[in-house]
């Protein structure tokens, strides 16, 4: 089974794809969305369109069996962050559903606890845990990549059994499988 983990953001969205329970790292990286062009701020709607196109391309290329996405979290000191994250998550959830792929949403502390045993692990601890579990030569950078890989590993460890059923009509991709 291939699991794709996505750590949503409007500037940087991390992704990591694993295969099997070993697990084997298939691919990981970040999608960097342009925030300015020629000194002009790019409207959020245009950035969301770019994110949708990038996620749709990843889904088509990597053909995951299940996608894990970090659930929205908010901190009372940074409510705007939760709103921005919500925009990115909405686009990602739409792309996953449109592709006909199973979806799992996980809380950040659930992912951290799975990987490190501590639901409040730091970014550095998460990077170190991913590096250790996958026997990587270096820590995944930026931290968004480690978070995305951790999401994929958490979903993969459960065999995707918490994946929600798809109620929409089958997409072109699921019909080709």
Return the active site residues.
Answer: 7, 70, 144
With b for 16 or more beta-carbon neighbours within 10 A and e for fewer, the 124-139 pattern comes to ebbbbbbbebbeeeeb
- In degrees, rounded to 5, the angle at the alpha carbon of residue 14 between the alpha carbons of residues 105 and 155 is 35
At CB < 8 A and 24+ separation, what contacts does 24-33 make?
Answer: 25/134, 25/136, 25/149, 26/2, 26/62, 27/62, 28/140, 28/145, 28/148, 28/149, 29/145, 30/142, 30/144, 30/145, 31/55, 31/58, 33/9
């Amino acid at each position: 089974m291939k699991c794709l983990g996505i750590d949503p953001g409007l500037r940087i969205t991390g992704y990591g794809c694993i295969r099997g329970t070993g697990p084997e790292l298939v691919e990981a990286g970040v999608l960097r969305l342009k925030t300015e062009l020629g000194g002009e701020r790019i409207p959020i709607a245009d950035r969301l369109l770019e994110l949708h196109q990038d996620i749709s391309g990843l889904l088509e290329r990597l053909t995951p069996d299940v996608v894990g996405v970090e659930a929205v979290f908010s901190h009372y000191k940074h409510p705007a962050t939760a709103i921005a994250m919500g925009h990115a998550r909405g686009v990602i959830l739409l792309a996953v559903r449109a592709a006909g792929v199973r979806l799992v949403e996980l809380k950040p502390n659930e992912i951290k606890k799975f990987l490190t045993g501590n639901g409040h692990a730091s970014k550095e601890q998460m990077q170190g845990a991913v590096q250790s579990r996958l026997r990587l030569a270096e820590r995944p950078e930026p931290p968004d990549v480690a978070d995305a890989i951790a999401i994929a590993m958490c979903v993969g460890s459960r065999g995707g059994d918490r994946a929600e059923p798809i109620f929409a009509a089958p997409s072109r991709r699921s019909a080709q499988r």
